[in-house]
């Protein structure tokens, strides 16, 4: 078993050496207009109060040094990054999952930043974009959840275009511009790009060839068809960047696929999601591991027999700032697989 759980080193953005290596961006000139998910948001000054709904968006704001502007958070999937434990402890958590519309509005936000449209969007569970607009509260949505993606059908949506890290970089850049911290945004993006290129170089040096993988997020019931990563989502991006073939050929973000189908494809590596939430029993990575080793079908796959099961932070296989961790985790798994062959 390969168990690799790295934390994003975004706090390094504020290290003098890193910042000095990045050219400083010019200050934001207000009013500033930001095109976001088909709408244009205008800001006459940097917001002083923001509510963040979605752990990745919250961690991006923290990474940009904006924790003092965050007046409430919601939609958490696991513990905050280690380097932000102290600052996060001082920020009100409105709900682990979806806070109510009134609760969000009570924080008097000058901006609501959301990771997913199914929380705030045309039919948001927290509130609709229109509801917030009626109160003159702008809503910024992570580009990763709307660019090249259709959320009209509900659920996790369908991607018609492949996800790329450029969408995360765009979110970082947009938020940095809105809050007039563009130098920090540039430094953070440079750090993430450097880590990705380092992982690609390691995999290239390993000389791997024709490695396949499947990414198992969770399952509604442990014996039912699992939610696995489609080809156009974040996990598909990780695989593609590293030259690994994702055995699931679907535009859905997280389609359900039967174990018999997965077993026939017989991937070299199985990636299982590790998360703090417990919506389903299979959210627990150890439950997944036990299933793989005892199920009569799954246990016969070569990845299980050879111990090529990778435990990955579930947020690292989703379109989040932690995706770079996922690239590093899979790169190490490919290196080990290549070394053993």
Structure-block tokens of residue 12: 């390094």
Count CA atoms within 13 Å of residue 57 on its CB side. Answer: 29
- Cβ neighbours of residue 198 under 8 Å, at least 6 residues apart? none
Q: How confident is the model at residue 295 (pLDDT cuts 50, 70, 90)?
A: very high
Per the CB < 8 A criterion, the answer to whether 154 and 128 are in contact is no
Q: How confident is the model at residue 130 (pLDDT cuts 50, 70, 90)?
A: very high
Structure-block tokens of residue 234: 């974040």
The whole-angstrom separation of Cα 90 and Cα 261 is 47
Rounded to the nearest 10 degrees, what angle do helices 55-63 and 166-178 cross at?
Answer: 60
Give the residue from 52, 251, 247 showing the smallest Cα distance to 155: 251
Given a cut of 50, whether residue 2 has pLDDT beyond it is: no
What's the sign of the alpha-carbon dihedral 66, 146, 110, 29?
Answer: positive
Query: What pLDDT is recorded for position 25?
Result: 65
Q: How far apart are the first and last CA of the chain?
A: 16
Count CA atoms within 13 Å of residue 156 on its CB side. Answer: 18
Q: What is the mean pLDDT of residues 210-222?
A: 95
Residues 141-192 have pLDDT tens digits of: 999 999 988 888 766 778 888 899 999 999 999 999 999 999 999 999 999 9
Given a cut of 50, whether residue 6 has pLDDT beyond it is: no
Residues 83-112 have pLDDT tens digits of: 999 999 999 999 999 999 999 999 999 999
User: Bigger pLDDT: 276 or 30?
Assistant: 30
DSSP tag of 144: G
Q: The whole model's pTM is what?
A: 0.88
For the beta sheet containing 111-114, the strands, ordered from the edge strand earlier in sequence to the opposite edge, are 70-74, 50-53, 111-114, 139-141
């Amino acid at each position: 078993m390969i168990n690799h759980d790295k934390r994003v080193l975004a706090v390094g953005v504020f290290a003098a050496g890193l910042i000095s290596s990045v050219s400083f961006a010019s200050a934001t000139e207000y009013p500033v207009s930001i095109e976001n998910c088909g709408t244009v948001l205008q800001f006459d000054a940097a917001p002083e109060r923001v509510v963040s709904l979605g752990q990745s968006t919250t961690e991006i704001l923290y990474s940009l040094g904006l924790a003092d502007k965050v007046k409430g958070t919601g939609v958490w999937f696991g513990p905050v990054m280690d380097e932000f434990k102290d600052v996060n402890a001082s920020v009100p958590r409105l709900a682990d999952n979806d806070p109510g519309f009134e609760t969000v509005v009570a924080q008097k936000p000058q901006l609501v930043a959301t990771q997913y449209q199914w929380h705030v969007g045309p039919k948001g569970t927290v509130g609709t974009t229109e509801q917030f607009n009626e109160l003159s509260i702008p809503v910024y949505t992570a580009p990763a959840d709307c660019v090249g993606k259709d959320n009209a059908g509900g659920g996790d949506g369908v991607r018609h275009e492949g996800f790329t890290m450029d969408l995360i970089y765009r979110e970082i850049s947009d938020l940095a511009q809105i809050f007039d911290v563009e130098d920090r945004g540039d430094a953070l993006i440079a750090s993430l790009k450097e880590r990705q290129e380092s992982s690609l170089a390691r995999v290239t040096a390993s000389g791997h060839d024709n490695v396949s993988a499947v990414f198992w997020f969770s399952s509604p019931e442990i014996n039912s068809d699992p939610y696995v990563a489609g080809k156009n989502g974040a996990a598909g991006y990780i695989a593609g960047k590293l030259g690994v073939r994702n055995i699931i050929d679907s535009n859905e973000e997280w389609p359900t696929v039967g174990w018999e189908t997965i077993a026939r494809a017989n991937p070299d590596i199985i990636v299982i999601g590790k998360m703090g939430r417990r919506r389903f029993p299979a959210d627990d990575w150890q439950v997944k591991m036990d299933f793989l080793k005892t199920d009569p079908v799954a246990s016969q796959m070569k990845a299980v027999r050879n111990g090529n099961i990778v435990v990955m932070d579930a947020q690292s296989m989703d379109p989040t700032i932690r995706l770079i961790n996922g690239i590093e985790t899979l790169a190490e798994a490919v290196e080990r697989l290549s070394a053993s062959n």
